[in-house]
Structure 1
Amino acid sequence: MVPLDCADRAGRARSISTAASAARRGDIVLVPTESSYALATDAFSVRGVRSIRWAKGQPSSVPLPVMVPSVMTVGGIAVGIPDQARDLMTAFWPGGLTLLLAPQPTLAWDLPPNAPIAVRMPLHPVLLELLDATGPLVVTGANAAGMSPPLTVDEAVGQLGEAWTVALDAGPLGDHPVSTVVDASAGASSPLVVRRIGAVSLEDLRAICPHMQDDDIR
């Protein structure tokens, strides 16, 4: 495992270039998000996605989140996106909002068939710069089952060993809330449904989409 320091801008540019090359090859990269360190790889790499599942001990039936560099990218990976979902993207991206969307049926990727994809544009600057260089990445927490999300590279190593080729080290991360999850996968004719409340409150969501339904079990 190669740890790459992202503390200064010059070093960060070199580190992100190295990490982008690794992700495009289908290697696993350890990345910082707003709330924890996570495993990432090219969303369209079958080898990369299967490697993440193996590292996490997850079956292929478990959906993996996809992160994108911009709102415009979403149209290439999802279909039937409701206007209200686009309004939420405009209001809360980049940031702590995950949208469940219907995937493009023509895409070749190793994600569960006939299941929505969880899509988010993150706020962490290092991860955003990496996404700008790579396009969509599968990104999921670098924690073992039942363990707390790691806030440092060392904590991630302690939980999963060195399952990645490259680690983007942004230092200790703050303890931020998980993202809010809104289901928009049923299409324009169905209401949006909150599946989990996290970083974005229900009040803030309803300020954009007044008829948002709440299905979160708190």
Structure 2
Amino acid sequence: MQGKIYDCSDEQQRAEGIALATKAAKSGRLIVTPTDTVYGLGCDAFDNDAVASLLAAKHRGPDMPVPVLIGSWDTAKGLVQSFTDQMKLLTEAFWPGGLSIVVPQAPSLPWNLGDTRGTVMLRMPLHPIAIELLREVGPMAVSSANISGHAPATTAIAAKQQLGKAVAVYLDGGEAPIGEPSTIIDLSGPWPYLLREGALSAERISEVIGVDAQRLRTRPGQNLQQPNGNQPGVQ
């Protein structure tokens, strides 16, 4: 049934829901899964038509590229140009968890996530349902389960209220534990830059990579004494 919610606190519904969500994602349809931060709207990252459907469901254009969720470190290594020291430090400290990392992608990946300019945003969520799904499907293009400009959903019901029958399967894992979007750090420039400060603070990241929190909040090319510029609408 299109758009059915599966209660993953029930063992039978969880097994059925994950199986159907896996099948749906592999056949180019959209699913909603719980994560540790907020609920995510997802599809197979390598299915360009499905990614286009995801953007359409969110009323969002390709100028706001879709992040990719992964279920293992080995998967990450296959998607990036190089696994740098900073990326290693950050992923060891905060994955699985609420940190998304923007890095140059591996060349010639057959996907179209939007206007990425040769980069990819990766995250490994700290949620058993999401991880199980990712290990069945592989890398998934996942954005917050809401219409662009609306509040991110922290429950499956809230996600369905916004996305309705655009989604094939909703996996209900209860209230999202963190309840706010991930922190996004861009490692593709001359120094690490926080695109969004969410689940993790600049101070916590600073402790791990040894870059001052003020510098992390300063866009490359911007004077350190100036306030941070406008944040992108990544959700």
Do they fold alike, i.e. is TM over 0.5?
Answer: yes
- What is the aligned counterpart of 2:29 among 27, 30, 35? 27
Give 5+ residue unaligned stretches, structure 1: none
Contact 2:125–2:131, Cα closer than 8 Å, also in 1: yes
Cα distance, 1:31 vs structure 2: 1.0
Give the Cα–Cα distance (whole angstroms) in 1 for the partners of residues 57 and 149 of structure 2: 14
Partner in structure 2 of residue 134 of structure 1: 137
Within 5 A, what are the aligned runs for 1:44-63? Answer: 44-63=46-65
Q: In structure 2, what residue type is equivalent to 1:159?
A: Q
Cα distance, 1:215 vs structure 2: 2.3
Partner in structure 1 of residue 204 of structure 2: 204
- What is the aligned counterpart of 2:188 among 181, 185, 188? 185
Cα distance, 1:171 vs structure 2: 2.6
- What is the aligned counterpart of 1:86 among 82, 85, 88? 88
Partner in structure 1 of residue 102 of structure 2: 100
* Greater than 4 Å deviation, 4+ residue runs: none
Contact 1:67–1:121, Cα closer than 8 Å, also in 2: yes
1:73 pairs with 2:72: no
SS in 2 for 1:13: helix
Give the Cα–Cα distance (whole angstroms) in 1 for the partners of residues 131 and 217 of structure 2: 30
Cα distance, 1:33 vs structure 2: 1.7
Q: Pick the structure with more strand per residue.
A: 1
Contact 2:202–2:217, Cα closer than 8 Å, also in 1: no
Cα distance, 1:74 vs structure 2: 0.9
Give 5+ residue unaligned stretches, structure 2: 219-227, 230-235
Partner in structure 2 of residue 158 of structure 1: 161
Q: How many residues align?
A: 215
Task: Mark the CA change 1:177 to 1:158 in structure 2 (over 3 Å): closer, same or farther.
Answer: closer
Task: Mark the CA change 1:185 to 1:131 in structure 2 (over 3 Å): closer, same or farther.
Answer: same
Q: Percent identity?
A: 35
| CA distances 1:19-60 after superposition (whole Å, capped 9, x unpaired) | 111111111001112232221000000121011011111122
Q: In structure 1, what residue type is equivalent to 2:59?
A: G
Partner in structure 2 of residue 120 of structure 1: 123
| CA distances 1:134-191 after superposition (whole Å, capped 9, x unpaired) | 11101111212321112222222222222111111123334523211111124xxx43
Give the Cα–Cα distance (whole angstroms) in 2 for the partners of residues 113 and 202 of structure 1: 24
Task: Mark the CA change 1:90 to 1:144 in structure 2 (over 3 Å): closer, same or farther.
Answer: same
CA RMSD, aligned part only? 1.9
Cα distance, 1:90 vs structure 2: 0.7
